[in-house]
Structure 1
């Protein structure tokens, strides 16, 4: 599976793409009524992203803008968004109401997720201390050194392979307001090199006192993660646990069922799994009957088998 489209909403607002340089001018929506998507072309761009952003700042009352998605930038498969981050940091006084920011809203035809070049994204969080939502797509070159942010409620990192230093940086960050954490850990083919032990600072919950939704998904070590989650202190206060999109098998599911009670959860999402019918039945009997909403869909789980009988499982989003 690849990323098939752009974000449809951000911060509860419908996404709206700011017109390109060659598009027929049209009436723009109210600045605070939409999540603005600003984009250039990944290939043969007629306009640089920073030039599109300058046009946006001239055409829109940016003091009323609430949500902003950075779409494709020129040659995203070959260069990171350093100039874009610099432009957004410079414009912080022009965007006093910005509460949600997503960096890298590209679909696969613009740039495959594993090809997107990133960089240190934390200057954006430092520049916008009132930001409540932050998301980034693409793990190549991504950096996230530990920081403190007192307002951030949602952090999303979507990758086909998340570097361990990013996992550790997020785990070491002080995020007292964070309620939703969503990490796509990916596969070693595309740069994932973390182990379940690297998630311990997140799973302890010590720096995340308000966490209610935890997604550790799209991982080739999903069984190991499930086993670590089974005894993790943070789970007791979660409402939603998401271990979907990875290579979860019977060992991981059995570890979850044999660990701490999960009947307090509102939802357990395990879709795109490799579970046998007996384990699926146990999950339904143990958790579904207790009122936990379960997503156990495995229709899109892809696998193949070598001549020697070795079975290969695949994460939902790699390249």
Structure 2
């Protein structure tokens, strides 16, 4: 599976793609604005599109912003420097999605990212940051008192990024989503890199933990079986990965999960027997075991999103 459709809602707002000289919604704060070019859009042309957008709307009223194609995203890195420079004008920005593209525009593993940490320093009131792609991605330990949702979508998330998140001070964070991916696409993180998150000594408000699209799903499940953070969660999301009976058995043998509202395991390699046990032994929990997969003839299992 690849990412083949665009989001139609972001940060609780419908998405509107900005087009010059097209009628705009009366209140720019009620929609999530998307700025996107074509695969061959130049940096100059994308910057011009951004300026036209800021001339057309009241910049301080923009609350949610999506950056799609900034041009040749497989060649030119994400426009973080541009966005940092716009912070004095985008004073109302609360939600940012950087790299919202389908595979037809740019494969997720090709999206050129960069150090996104400066975005949090530039926007101290930002509540949501979602980033797609991990080629060149960096995230350094930081403190941000307002951030509530942080998500990194990738076919492989570098261990340095995972450690940067794990070592950050994010006291308001309620939603953390890490697509760990595979080592073929920069995903070299291991369970040890997640240790500060799993220990539950950080992220006091965390309710949703998504360790998704993971080639190491079974190892992650085994670590979660005794992880203190789980007791605080309402949602545990291990979807899109290669979870097998080994990981499912670890979850069943570990600490109680009956306090969860939702356990999301969709796109998995769990047998029907273990799947039935998960549902039976977690009454009252919404257990998503849809999209059951089977290993290929060589016994290989694949995450849902890689290239």
Task: Identify the TM-score tier after normalising by the shorter chain.
Answer: over 0.9
2:141 matched residue in structure 1: 146
On the 8 A contact 1:38/1:52 being kept in 2, the answer is: yes
Q: Matched residues in 1 for 2:107 and 2:40: separation?
A: 13
1:218 matched residue in structure 2: 213
Q: Matched residues in 1 for 2:105 and 2:40: separation?
A: 8
RMSD across aligned C-alpha pairs, in angstroms?
1.3
Deviation at 1:45, TM superposition (A): 4.9
Deviation at 1:43, TM superposition (A): 2.6
2:295 matched residue in structure 1: 303
Q: Matched residues in 1 for 2:57 and 2:168: separation?
A: 34
1:7 matched residue in structure 2: 7
1:294 matched residue in structure 2: 287
Cα distance per residue 1:131-164 (max 9 Å; x no partner) = 0000000011100010000000000100001000
Structure 2: which 5+ residue stretches go unaligned?
none
Q: Matched residues in 2 for 1:122 and 1:46: separation?
A: 21
1:266 has 2:261 as partner: yes
On the 8 A contact 1:181/1:215 being kept in 2, the answer is: yes
Q: Matched residues in 1 for 2:22 and 2:73: separation?
A: 28
1:33 matched residue in structure 2: 30
Sort the Cα spacing of 1:302 and 1:73 in 2 relative to 1 into closer, same or farther, 3 A.
farther
What secondary structure is seen at the aligned counterpart in 2 of 1:254? Answer: helix
What secondary structure is seen at the aligned counterpart in 2 of 1:69? Answer: strand
Q: Matched residues in 2 for 1:261 and 1:12: separation?
A: 32
Q: Matched residues in 1 for 2:295 and 2:272: separation?
A: 17
On the 8 A contact 2:156/2:187 being kept in 1, the answer is: yes
1:246 has 2:234 as partner: no
Cα distance per residue 1:237-274 (max 9 Å; x no partner) = 10000001000000100000100000000000000010
Cα distance per residue 1:166-191 (max 9 Å; x no partner) = 00000000000000001101011111
Matched residue pairs, number?
306
On the 8 A contact 2:43/2:70 being kept in 1, the answer is: no
1:187 matched residue in structure 2: 182
1:61 matched residue in structure 2: 58
Give the TM-score normalised by the residue count of structure 2. Answer: 0.97
Q: Matched residues in 2 for 1:184 and 1:199: separation?
A: 12
- The residue correspondences of 1:220-239 to structure 2 (distance < 5 A) are 220-239=215-234
1:283 matched residue in structure 2: 278
Deviation at 1:207, TM superposition (A): 1.7
On the 8 A contact 1:274/1:298 being kept in 2, the answer is: no
On the 8 A contact 2:64/2:93 being kept in 1, the answer is: yes
Q: Matched residues in 1 for 2:80 and 2:186: separation?
A: 23
On the 8 A contact 2:95/2:127 being kept in 1, the answer is: yes
Q: Matched residues in 2 for 1:212 and 1:152: separation?
A: 14
- The residue correspondences of 1:126-165 to structure 2 (distance < 5 A) are 126-165=121-160
Q: Matched residues in 2 for 1:205 and 1:7: separation?
A: 31
Q: Matched residues in 1 for 2:201 and 2:243: separation?
A: 26
Structure 1: which 5+ residue stretches go unaligned?
none
1:317 matched residue in structure 2: 305
Q: Matched residues in 1 for 2:297 and 2:300: separation?
A: 6
On the 8 A contact 2:41/2:70 being kept in 1, the answer is: no
What secondary structure is seen at the aligned counterpart in 2 of 1:304? Answer: coil
Sort the Cα spacing of 1:72 and 1:302 in 2 relative to 1 into closer, same or farther, 3 A.
farther
1:75 matched residue in structure 2: 72
What secondary structure is seen at the aligned counterpart in 2 of 1:218? Answer: strand
Deviation at 1:47, TM superposition (A): 6.0
Q: Matched residues in 2 for 1:159 and 1:99: separation?
A: 22
Give the TM-score normalised by the residue count of structure 1. Answer: 0.93
1:166 has 2:161 as partner: yes
Cα distance per residue 1:94-131 (max 9 Å; x no partner) = 11111000100111111010110100001111100000
